[in-house]
Structure 1
Amino acid sequence: MRLHRSRGVPLLVAVSLLVLSGCGGDGPASEAAGSGEPVTGGTLVYAVNSAPETLDPHVSTQDAAGLYARPVLDSLVVMDEEGEFHPWLATSWDISEDGTVYRFTLREDVTFSDGTPLDAEAVRANLDRIVAPETMSAMAASFVEPYAATTVTGPHTFDIELSEPHAPLLAALSSAYFGIQSPRSLERGTEEIAREIIGSGPYVIEEFSPSTGITYQRNEDYAWQPATAGLEGAPYLERLEFRVMAEDSVRFGALTSRQVDAIGNLPPSGVRQAESVDGLWLTELQAPGGPYAYFPNTEEGVFTDRRVRQAFRDGIDFRALVEQLFFGAFAPAWGPLSPTTPGYDASLEEAWGHDPEGAAALLDEAGWHQRDGEGYRVRDGQRLTVVWPFVSSGAGELGDVLAVQVQAEAAELGFEVVFDTGTQGELVEKYNRGDYDLMDVSWARNDPDALRNLFATSSIPTPDHFAHNAARVSDPQVDEWLDQALATTDPRERAALYGEVQQRLTEEAAVFPVHVSTNVVAGHDHVRDVRWDPQGYPLFHEAWVAS
C-alpha cells in the first residue's frame, strides 16, 4: 500500500448549485504494485458517491457530470499537470495578436460513435449550443462569456471569435464540460441527451441511472488519444462501471470486501484503516480553484462591516477544527485559491490566524461591545446574528459536524449563528436573492480565473441570473485586476494580477478559508494505470486490470 499526493480532485461540494469543470490531461498513475504488460479486456468497477441528474455536460450544474462525461467525450485540447496545452481533437491553433481570435485545425480521421464524422461544423454546433440561452447552461457558458461566434473556414478549420480577450479559453476548451458531442445526437430531445451522450471518446455508454450509476463499453474504433497519453488506440478495458454508493462506510466496505476495484472520496476517517490494508493503493488529490470556504454576504447584513468579517474569521480556530475533524487528511486553506491552482499566492500562508482577543477588540470597535442575557453581542437592541442557509447533505463528509463546531466557537465570540435549513431548491432561491449572511461553497477550476467567477461584480447572483459570487463582492479595483488578467496571456503578468486580487480579498476578509477540498482515491493493486487530470477526475483511457 502506498499514499501518493497529487494535484486535483473532484469537488467536495458545499452546495450542489456550485460546480466544477474537469480538464482532460495527464497526471500521476495509480502506481499499483507489480509490473507486467497491460492486459486487454476485463471490467473495472469504480464506486462513487453520486451521479448527475443529467449526463449532458453542456447543461449540467453538477460536478459529477464531468466525471461521467469524460470517458465518452473528447476535447479540442488537453491540459497537462503544468498547465500547458497539447493537441487532442485539434492538431494546432493560433491566437491573434489582440487575443480575440483563436484559429484551430482539426484531425481529419475522427468519427463519433454514431458514425458521424468530426468536422468544423460539429465544433461550431457544440459551442453555439453551450452559449445559447435556451440551453440554460449554468456553468459551462460562464467560462466563455466573451464568446461571439465560431466561423467555419474549411472542412476541418474554424475560428473562435471573442468580443474581448479571454486568456482562460483553452482551459475551458480542455474540460469535459466542453467535450464535443455528435451534432446528430444534439438534435434529440433534452431528456434523451440527459440519459445518453454520444461522443468520439474511448468508451460508449451502455446504461445509465442517476440512482445506480453508469456502465460503458470500449469503443473499438478509438484511435485519437490525447497527445499526453501513453496509448495510441482503443482502451484496454472491455467495460467500465461507475457504481453509486452514497454512504462512505458502504463504499469503503465494498472496496475492502473486493466488491469494487476502486473508490473515490475515501472518508478521512478511513484513511488510516486503508493504510493498514495490504494490496491497496491510495492517492490524495487536492482540488484547484477555490477551497472549501465560508463566504460572508458583504452586500447586506452584519458582514458589510469588514471588522465584523475579520472578527469572525480570526476568532474561530479553523486550523484546529480541520485537523481534529478530518484526521489530518485535509490541509488548511489560507486564501481564496487552493495551493494547486496556477497563480496561487503562497505569501498568504500564516498571514492571518486564530486571534480571539483581536477579534473581540474588532467587535468592540464596531459597536458590538454589549452582551445580552444569553451571552450574544448586541448593538442598538439588535443581536449579532448570522443566518446560514445550510443543507447538511450537500456539505460533504463531516461538513455538518464542522458547522456545529464553528457555531459553538462563534457563540463564544458573541455571534449567534442560526442554521436556516430547508431543501436544496429553497437554498438556491435564497442564494440568488442574497437572503443570507453566510454561505459555504467549494468551486474547483484549474485556472486562477476562478477568482473572477467567485468575486467579480458581474458574478453576483440575482433572482434572474445564477452566478457564483457568494460573498457578493463588488470592488472596482478587484474587477479592474480581473479584467486585466483576462486580457493577457503572459503567465507572470497574470500571476501578479491574481496575486493582487488574493491579497485584497484576504485583507478585506471577503472569504473565510476552511480547508483544501481533497479527495482520497483508493484501489486494489490489480488496478493499473489509472491517471488523473489536472482537476482530479480519474482518467481510464489507459487503465487495465491485472489477472
Structure 2
Amino acid sequence: MKGFRTIGCPGRLTLLGCALLGALASPAYSATLTVMQNEAPRSMDPGNQTATFTATVLDPMYEGLLKMSPALKLEPALATSWSSDASGLVWTFTLRSGVTFHDGTPFNADAVVSNFARHLDVKRGLAASGRLRTFIDSVTKVDDRTVVFKLKKPYPAFLNLLTTGACLMVSPTADKAGTLDSKAVGTGPYKMVQYKTGEYVLEEKNPGYWGKSDGPEDIKWTWSSESSVMNMALQAGEADVINPVPPQFARMLKNNPKFVLHESPGASVFWVALNTQLKPLDDVRVRQALNFATDRDGLVRAIMSGFATPANSPLAPITPGYDKSLNPYPLNIEKAKALLKEAGYANGFSMSIAVQGADARIGQVLQSMWAKIGVKLDVRQMESGVWTKAAFADPAGKKADGTGAILASWSSGVSGADLQLRPLYYSGSFAPTGANLGFFSDAKLDKLLDTAASTLDENARNQLYVQAQQEINLQAPQVLLYYQNDLYATGANISNVWMIPGGNVIVKDAHKQ
C-alpha cells in the first residue's frame, strides 16, 4: 500500500482518518485489539503459506497437536500426551476429546490423518508440504483418540515441527471444499468473521472453544508497507500493536511512556537469493563478487538504525549450531572486481532483483553498493502478492521474467537449523514447492543436511551444521545481509502479548485496559 487509501468515507478522509472516526463512534472499540503489520496475509490456509506475518494472523484461529509456550517450551494442544519407541521412528499421540472445528466438523483421528495426507500427497502442491514429506512416512489411526506417526528416519526436531504452520489442523470439510485459502477454519479460540482482501482480517472469539480464552472479544488485522503509516497508526491509537516496528521510529517509541517497545534477538535472516541457473549468476565467482561488494555494516546503519546485526552465516545466532567465527565476505571492492574480471565480466553486468514495497530501500542501497563493481541492479518493487508470485516462480518462469535475484527473509523460529537451511538450500526444495528461490543444488550440502537432520547427538549434529554453513558460504547462492532484531510495539495499556523469535507475535491472550 502506498500512502493512504480512501475506503468510502466522505471528502478526502484517509484510511487512518476513517479508522479513527470509527473508533470514536463505536462503543465496542475497546473490546477490539487492532494489530498492524507490514504485509498482507498470503493465505488463510496455514499449510499453503510459509510467511511469518501470515502465521501471526492465523495463530488465533488454528492449533496443532503441540504448541509453543511463552517460555518457548513444548506444551500439549490438540494432543494431550505423546511417546516414541526406542528408535525414535514411531510416535504415538493421544488426542484431546470434545473438540470441534469452527464449521462443526469433529476433531478426531480421522481429521489428523486427513490433515497430513494432504501434505504427503505430492499432487496437492501446498507451499508448506515439502518439509513434512522429507521425514514423515505415514500417519495412521488406531482409534478415534489415537494416531501413530512413522518417520522415514530419526528427526530430533520432529516435535518442534508439529508446532509449525504445515502441522496446524484445518477442517477436512473446508479442505475438501477448497475454500481454505480465503476462509480460515480451525479449532482455535478465535474464528474468522471477514477477510477483506487488501484491507483487513477480522476475527472474533469462538464461543465453542474447548479451552480457556482470556483475550479480547475481537482481533482486527491491518497492514501497510509504509513505515510512516505504521508509526502513525500506533501514535494515533488506530493500532494497539505494530509488528515489526520500523527501525527509524524505534528509539522514539522507546522513549515515549504511552508505548512499550519490545526488542529481543531475532531469528530472521535477511538475504538475497541469487538465481544460480541464470547467467552470469551461475558462476560462483560472480556470486562471491557480489558478497565482497556488500557493506553489511553500512546496510545495518542505513536501513536498520542499528537494530540488526550483519550476517555472517545462513543461520541466525540464536539457532543451535550457528558458528560465530565465520567471516567469509568482509567488504573488499578490489577482490570483488578481480573475481568479476576472472569470470569474464571486467566491465560488470546487469541484473534484476524483486523486492517488496517495505524492502525497497534495501534494494536501492544494494544498487548503490554494487554499482562500484560495475553491476547495474534493476530494483523491481512489487506489492506483496505480486512479489510472492515472482519469488516462487519456477526456473522457467524466472528465466522468462529475467529475475536474477529475490530479496527475502526467513526464520525457523525456535525449530532448529534444519528448518532454516533445508527449505532454502536443499536440492529438493526448489520453488514453487519449496523456498529454494535461486535453485541452488549441491550434493555435498544435501548429504550434510540429511546426515545432520538424523543425528541424535546434539554436539555431533551441530558440527555437521557448521560444515553446512561453511559450504553454503563458499558456494554463495545468496548474498547474506543481516539478522533483524525482533521489534514490536504496543500501547502502554496492552499486556500479555509475546513473540516467538523471528517475528511471530502472539496476541490471542492480550489484555487491553
Question: Could you say whether these structures have the same fold, taking a TM-score greater than 0.5 normalized by the shorter chain as the test?
Answer: yes
Structure 1 pair 432/528, CA: closer, same or farther in 2 (3 Å)? Answer: farther
- CA-atom RMSD, angstroms? 2.8
Question: Would the aligned equivalents of 1:67 and 1:537 in 2 still touch at CA under 8 Å?
Answer: yes
Taking the aligned partners of 1:257 and 1:278, their CA distance within structure 2 comes to 14
Taking the aligned partners of 1:259 and 1:109, their CA distance within structure 2 comes to 38
Which one of the candidate residues 216, 220, 226 is aligned to 1:237? 216
Structure 1 pair 527/140, CA: closer, same or farther in 2 (3 Å)? Answer: farther
Q: 112-121 vs 537-546, which deviates more?
A: 112-121
Secondary structure of 2:271's match? strand
Question: Would the aligned equivalents of 2:52 and 2:411 in 1 still touch at CA under 8 Å?
Answer: no
* Structure 1 position 250, deviation (Å): 2.1
* Structure 1 position 527, deviation (Å): 0.3
Aligned counterpart, 2:6: none
* Structure 1 position 518, deviation (Å): 4.4
Taking the aligned partners of 1:408 and 1:491, their CA distance within structure 2 comes to 42
Secondary structure of 1:347's match? coil
* Structure 1 position 112, deviation (Å): 3.2
Aligned counterpart, 1:57: 46
Aligned counterpart, 2:493: 526
Q: 303-312 vs 313-322, which deviates more?
A: 303-312
Question: Would the aligned equivalents of 1:202 and 1:235 in 2 still touch at CA under 8 Å?
Answer: no
* Structure 1 position 163, deviation (Å): 3.3
Amino acid corresponding to residue 543 of structure 1 in structure 2: A
Structure 1 pair 179/427, CA: closer, same or farther in 2 (3 Å)? Answer: closer
Which one of the candidate residues 290, 315, 337 is aligned to 1:337? 315
**Higher relative contact order, structure no. (Cα contacts within 8 Å, ≥ 6 residues apart):** 1
Aligned counterpart, 1:101: 90
Taking the aligned partners of 1:280 and 1:387, their CA distance within structure 2 comes to 43
Structure 1 pair 121/205, CA: closer, same or farther in 2 (3 Å)? Answer: same
Q: How does 1:391-430 map to 2 (within 5 A)?
A: 392=355, 394=356, 396=358, 399-419=359-379, 424=387, 425=389, 428-429=392-393
Would you say how many aligned residue pairs link Structure 1 and Structure 2?
474
Amino acid corresponding to residue 218 of structure 1 in structure 2: K
Structure 1 pair 534/144, CA: closer, same or farther in 2 (3 Å)? Answer: farther
Amino acid corresponding to residue 492 of structure 1 in structure 2: N
Which one of the candidate residues 171, 196, 203 is aligned to 1:209? 196
For each residue in 1:304-338, what CA deviation from the matched residue of structure 2 results, as whole angstroms up to 9, or x when unmatched?
43333222211232221321232112322111122
Aligned counterpart, 2:255: 276
Amino acid corresponding to residue 326 of structure 1 in structure 2: M
Aligned counterpart, 2:99: 110
Taking the aligned partners of 2:107 and 2:191, their CA distance within structure 1 comes to 16
Structure 1 pair 272/101, CA: closer, same or farther in 2 (3 Å)? Answer: same
Taking the aligned partners of 2:226 and 2:333, their CA distance within structure 1 comes to 37
Aligned counterpart, 1:151: 140
Amino acid corresponding to residue 52 of structure 1 in structure 2: P
Which one of the candidate residues 107, 111, 132 is aligned to 1:122? 111
Question: Would the aligned equivalents of 1:220 and 1:234 in 2 still touch at CA under 8 Å?
Answer: no
Which one of the candidate residues 425, 435, 460 is aligned to 1:455? 425
Taking the aligned partners of 1:523 and 1:83, their CA distance within structure 2 comes to 21
Taking the aligned partners of 1:476 and 1:131, their CA distance within structure 2 comes to 24
Structure 1 pair 321/531, CA: closer, same or farther in 2 (3 Å)? Answer: closer
Aligned counterpart, 1:467: 434
Q: 76-85 vs 193-202, which deviates more?
A: 76-85
Secondary structure of 1:70's match? helix
* Structure 1 position 506, deviation (Å): 1.6
Aligned counterpart, 1:19: none
* Structure 1 position 62, deviation (Å): 4.5
Question: What residue ranges of structure 2 are gaps of 5+ in the alignment?
Answer: 1-29
Aligned counterpart, 1:249: 228
Question: Would the aligned equivalents of 2:264 and 2:487 in 1 still touch at CA under 8 Å?
Answer: yes
Taking the aligned partners of 1:145 and 1:412, their CA distance within structure 2 comes to 42
Question: Would the aligned equivalents of 1:99 and 1:487 in 2 still touch at CA under 8 Å?
Answer: no
Q: How does 1:486-497 map to 2 (within 5 A)?
A: 486-497=453-464
The yes-or-no answer on 1:319 pairing with 2:297 is: yes
Question: Would the aligned equivalents of 1:106 and 1:156 in 2 still touch at CA under 8 Å?
Answer: yes
The yes-or-no answer on 1:385 pairing with 2:349 is: yes
Please, what TM-score do these two structures have when normalized by structure 2? 0.83
* Structure 1 position 114, deviation (Å): 4.0
Taking the aligned partners of 2:505 and 2:242, their CA distance within structure 1 comes to 11
Secondary structure of 1:489's match? coil
Secondary structure of 2:285's match? helix
Q: 63-72 vs 428-437, which deviates more?
A: 428-437
Aligned counterpart, 1:359: 336
Question: Would the aligned equivalents of 1:292 and 1:517 in 2 still touch at CA under 8 Å?
Answer: yes
Taking the aligned partners of 1:185 and 1:297, their CA distance within structure 2 comes to 37
* Structure 1 position 430, deviation (Å): 6.5
* Structure 1 position 544, deviation (Å): 0.9
Taking the aligned partners of 1:386 and 1:165, their CA distance within structure 2 comes to 45
Taking the aligned partners of 1:246 and 1:81, their CA distance within structure 2 comes to 28
Question: What residue ranges of structure 1 are gaps of 5+ in the alignment?
Answer: 1-40, 225-232, 369-376, 379-383
Structure 1 pair 87/292, CA: closer, same or farther in 2 (3 Å)? Answer: same
* Structure 1 position 212, deviation (Å): 2.1
The yes-or-no answer on 1:514 pairing with 2:481 is: yes
Question: Would the aligned equivalents of 2:92 and 2:146 in 1 still touch at CA under 8 Å?
Answer: yes
Taking the aligned partners of 1:540 and 1:406, their CA distance within structure 2 comes to 35
Secondary structure of 2:292's match? helix
More helix by share: 2
Amino acid corresponding to residue 405 of structure 2 in structure 1: L
Structure 1 pair 347/82, CA: closer, same or farther in 2 (3 Å)? Answer: farther
Please, what TM-score do these two structures have when normalized by structure 1? 0.79
Q: How does 1:284-299 map to 2 (within 5 A)?
A: 284=263, 287-288=266-267, 291-299=269-277
Taking the aligned partners of 1:258 and 1:438, their CA distance within structure 2 comes to 38
Structure 1 pair 107/149, CA: closer, same or farther in 2 (3 Å)? Answer: same
Taking the aligned partners of 1:416 and 1:245, their CA distance within structure 2 comes to 29
Question: Would the aligned equivalents of 1:144 and 1:172 in 2 still touch at CA under 8 Å?
Answer: no
